Amino acid sequence: QLRLVESGGGSVQAGESLTLSCTRTGRPPYVAGQYFMAWFRQVPGKQREGVAVIQEGVPKEFADFARGRFTISQNNDKTTAYLQMNNLKPEDSAMYYCAADRSPDRWLRASDYSAWGEGTQVTVSS
């Protein structure tokens, strides 16, 4: 069973940076690089929204609010995905979740992902 564990959240001031990590473990057989790994975020009362997605080390898509400020990357064996967030804004405050799936139809649609982490909180103060 696939398991995802996020880390790296915290409280920062506007303009600062944070890097989130998501490590994927699971029982073989699986081929690490075949999974899409994505970051989503959610604030209370709102739908979970996609942030960025990567597959086999190649970033696939970014949400409009993330493009130019956030980068997504993976480690060499593709089991960990990183979300580097720069120039953070108060509106970036949310619970950030990592998700994984072999073949999401829509890369930034939450319902297309079968495995989820517990989330890590990001709070940006002005």
Rg (CA), the chain: 14
> How much is the pLDDT for 34?
78
Instruction: Tell me the pLDDT tens digit for each residue of 13-49.
Output: 999 999 999 998 875 555 655 789 999 999 999 999 9
> How much is the pLDDT for 32?
57
**Alpha-carbon gap, residue 94 to 109, rounded angstroms:** 17
CA dihedral over 18, 111, 67, 61, signed as positive or negative: positive
pLDDT over 90 for what percent of the chain?
84
pLDDT, mean over the chain: 93
For residues 37-62, give the mean pLDDT.
96
Q: Check: CB of residue 31 under 8 Å from CB of residue 24.
A: no
Instruction: Tell me the pLDDT tens digit for each residue of 78-95.
Output: 889 999 999 999 999 999
Q: Which of 24-28, 47-51, 70-74, 121-125 has the lowest mean pLDDT?
A: 24-28
> How much is the pLDDT for 35?
87
